[in-house]
C-alpha cells in the first residue's frame, strides 16, 4: 500500500520538453487542468499528495518519477541520463529528506545514470531497464543499494522504447500490463500477461494505487481488460503529457 505521493506542477516551458512523439506542442492550460485531475484521482486512492511548485528552469521537471526511486526501506536519488534533466534532482533531495532519514538515502553517481521510469517494483524486487537514459553502471549501483537494504534487482535490456515502464506496468497480484518488445521476454513469463492491444501501446503505462488502477483516457481495450480483472479503474486524461513522451507513472513518486 502507498501512503504518500509527490507530484510537481508542470512549468510553462514543459511545451518544450524532450520528445520523440510528433504530436505537436502541449497546450499548457489543458496540461494544468489534467494535472489537477491527476491529483484528484490520486487522492481518491487514499494517499497524501505533496504538490511541488513548477520550476521553469527544467521543462521536464513535472516528470518527478525519473528523479528518485522510493522504496519501502530507502530512497534512491537518481542521476538522469538526459543532460537537460540532471539538475532536476537537486530540488527533490530536500523534499525526499522530509520522508527518509539520512541513513536511508542512496545516490546514483556518475558515470552511472538511472531514471526512475526505467524501474519497475514488484514487491522487494526491482526490474531495471538498460536504456538510452539508464546505463549498466547506474543499474549496478542501484542493485548494490538494494542488496545493502535486503532487497534485489535485475537488469532488462531495452531496444525500442524510452523507459521500461513505457511498455510495462505491474498492477499487483501477479498482473502485468505488457506490450511490444517485452511480450516474448522470458524474464516476464512468470506474470499473468495483460497484453496491450495494437494501437493502444501508450495505455501500457498505468499505475496501481492501493487497489485502484489509474488508466490513461483513450485506451478502451486496455481499460476493459483491467476492469475484467476486478480492479476499480480511474480514467485520467494525459493527452498533453503524451506529446512530450510522458505518461501516468512519470508524473508522480508513490511510496
Ligand atoms: C523525457 O524525455 O525525459 C520527458 N519528456 C518524458 C519523461 C517520461 N518519464 C517517464 O517515463 N518516467
- The residues near 79 (Cβ < 8 Å, ≥ 6 apart) are 86, 89, 107, 108, 109, 110, 112, 113, 114, 138
Minimal-distance CA residue to ligand 1 atom 2:
18
Global pTM exceeds 0.95? yes
The string of pLDDT tens digits covering residues 148-172 is 999 999 999 999 999 999 999 999 9
- The residues near 33 (Cβ < 8 Å, ≥ 6 apart) are none
**Residue 247 CA to ligand 1 centre (angstroms):** 8
**Residue 159 CA to ligand 1 centre (angstroms):** 16
Q: What is the mean pLDDT of residues 139-151?
A: 98
C-alpha distances out from residue 104 to 100, 138, 146, 162, 221, Å: 6, 18, 11, 29, 41
**Residues with a CB atom less than 6 Å from ligand 1:** 17-19, 60, 63, 65-66, 82, 85, 117, 163, 166, 244-247, 249-250
149 is catalytic: no
Say if residues 112 and 76 touch (Cβ distance below 8 Å).
no
12 is catalytic: no
Minimal-distance CA residue to ligand 1 atom 1:
18
pLDDT (0 to 100) of residue 89: 98
Nearest to 39 by CA among 246, 255, 248: 248
Confidence of residue 136 (pLDDT cuts 50, 70, 90): very high
Ordered structural domains, the chain, with CATH: 4-254 (3.75.10.10)
DSSP letter assigned to residue 45: T
Minimal-distance CA residue to ligand 1 atom 8:
246
Q: What are phi and psi of 248, to 5 degrees?
A: -60, -45
Cα–Cα distance between 128 and 134 in angstroms, integer? 8
The residue annotated as part of the active site, out of 35, 45, 62, 163, is 163
**Residue 173 CA to ligand 1 centre (angstroms):** 27
107-117 burial code (b ≥16 CB/10 A, e <16): ebeeebbbbbb
Amino acid at each position: 500500500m502507498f501512503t504518500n505521493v509527490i507530484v510537481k506542477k508542470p512549468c510553462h516551458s514543459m511545451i518544450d520538453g524532450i520528445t520523440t512523439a510528433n504530436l505537436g506542442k502541449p497546450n499548457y492550460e489543458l496540461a494544468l487542468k489534467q494535472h489537477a485531475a491527476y491529483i484528484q484521482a490520486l487522492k481518491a486512492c487514499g494517499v497524501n499528495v505533496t504538490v511541488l511548485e513548477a520550476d521553469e528552469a527544467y521543462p521536464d521537471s513535472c516528470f518527478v518519477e525519473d528523479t528518485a526511486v522510493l522504496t519501502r526501506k530507502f530512497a534512491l536519488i537518481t542521476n538522469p541520463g538526459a543532460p537537460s534533466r540532471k539538475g532536476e534532482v537537486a530540488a527533490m533531495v530536500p523534499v525526499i529528506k522530509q520522508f527518509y532519514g539520512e541513513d536511508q538515502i542512496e545516490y546514483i553517481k556518475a558515470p552511472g545514470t538511472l531514471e526512475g521510469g526505467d524501474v519497475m517494483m514488484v514487491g522487494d524486487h526491482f526490474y531495471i531497464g538498460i536504456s538510452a537514459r539508464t546505463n549498466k553502471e547506474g543499474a549496478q549501483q542501484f542493485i548494490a543499494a538494494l542488496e545493502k537494504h535486503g532487497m534485489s534487482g535485475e537488469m532488462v535490456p531495452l531496444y525500442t522504447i524510452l523507459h521500461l515502464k513505457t511498455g510495462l506496468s505491474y498492477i499487483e497480484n501477479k498482473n502485468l500490463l505488457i506490450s511490444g518488445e517485452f511480450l516474448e521476454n522470458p524474464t516476464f513469463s512468470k506474470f499473468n500477461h495483460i497484453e496491450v492491444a495494437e494501437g493502444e501501446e501508450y495505455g501500457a503505462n498505468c499505475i496501481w494505487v492501493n487497489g485502484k488502477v489509474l488508466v490513461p483516457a483513450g485506451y478502451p481495450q486496455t481499460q476493459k481488460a483491467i476492469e475484467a480483472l476486478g480492479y476499480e479503474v480511474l480514467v485520467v486524461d494525459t493527452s498533453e503529457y503524451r506529446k512530450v513522451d510522458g505518461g501516468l507513472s512519470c508524473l508522480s513518486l508513490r511510496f
